[in-house]
Structure 1
């Protein structure tokens, strides 16, 4: 019984420290249009919120969005406007209390047809 309880605690602990990555759309045959590191310092006992805005200058549609949490924290990432199939995207990042933000964001667009 003690080993079962210990196994349950370890499983739940590993679940709660999982990072919140955002992977939307198809990035396999898309062209990387923007790659940016977004960082925000921590303030004790406060949640930090940061917004990221991207607009495609040549009006190609976004095919995929990839945001990787480098801190492996419980931060959250949401799309607030635009996204896949649009020419723009607005992202909202919110840290866990007392922690900062550190994301690598990649925006993928449809390939440019040269023919």
Structure 2
């Protein structure tokens, strides 16, 4: 009985982590948060929202981690289109599902 309970909890955790549309690249462990922004855009009926978020470090520090958390847990997506971990800049493309808003918390670690 305990094995079934433990297995079901493990399966639920695995499923919930697969359903998350967060973008996590690199690491935030033992690094410093240098930039944080909330990307919040209203939705339009029957249209997808696409926004580009740009970050460039003026001190040319190398990025070690990028986190873009989907606060609304929607079916939107976040992808890195240029730069990223190992570079001093990053371009992140946020795309919502049709008719929905975008609500992301973006963090950059060096």
TM-score category (smaller protein): 0.7 to 0.9
Q: What is the aligned partner in structure 2 of residue 107 from structure 1?
A: 108
Q: What is the aligned partner in structure 2 of residue 45 from structure 1?
A: 46
* Large movers: runs of 4+ above 6 Å: none
TM (norm. structure 1) is 0.79
Give the secondary structure class of the aligned counterpart of 2:60: coil
Q: What is the aligned partner in structure 2 of residue 3 from structure 1?
A: none
CA contact (8 A) 1:19 1:75 kept: no
Bigger-Rg structure (1/2): 1
Q: What is the aligned partner in structure 1 of residue 94 from structure 2?
A: 93
Instruction: Establish whether residue 55 from structure 1 lines up as the match of residue 56 from structure 2.
Output: yes
CA contact (8 A) 1:82 1:89 kept: yes
| Runs of 5+ consecutive residues of structure 1 not aligned to the other structure | 1-10, 110-115
Aligned length: 96
Alpha-carbon distance in structure 1 between the residues aligned to 2:93 and 2:104: 11
| Runs of 5+ consecutive residues of structure 2 not aligned to the other structure | 1-11
- Report the RMSD for the aligned CA atoms in angstroms: 1.7
